[in-house]
Amino acid sequence: MNDRMNEIAFQIILFAGNGKSSAMEAIQEAKDGNFEEADQKIKEAGEELSKAHGVQTELLQEEAKGNGAGVNVILVHSQDHLMTAMTLRDMAVEIIELHRLRQEVR
């Protein structure tokens, strides 16, 4: 089960990393005034984070069935990575809105 846990952890890290990257790209697009592109990048971030969350949910379901494999440092890291990426996506939405409002004021 340890190899399976590592595989799951790396899937979460991959999807969360993709989501984080898209959120950062969205902020940059908003800074440049490209709000349609920023909105698209936020959508992409959400899709990637949803994939990571789906993998996490499968893991939680297995744990609830009694099929947990104990604490794995890579898995703990993946959870931290996911939560950080989710927070960044939420903050990116707010930052984009601030840039949008600033653009309207000009």
Active site residues: 77
Residues ≥6 apart with Cβ < 8 Å to 6 = 72, 74, 75
State which H helix or E strand residue 1 sits in: none
Nearest to 21 by CA among 54, 44, 52, 53: 44
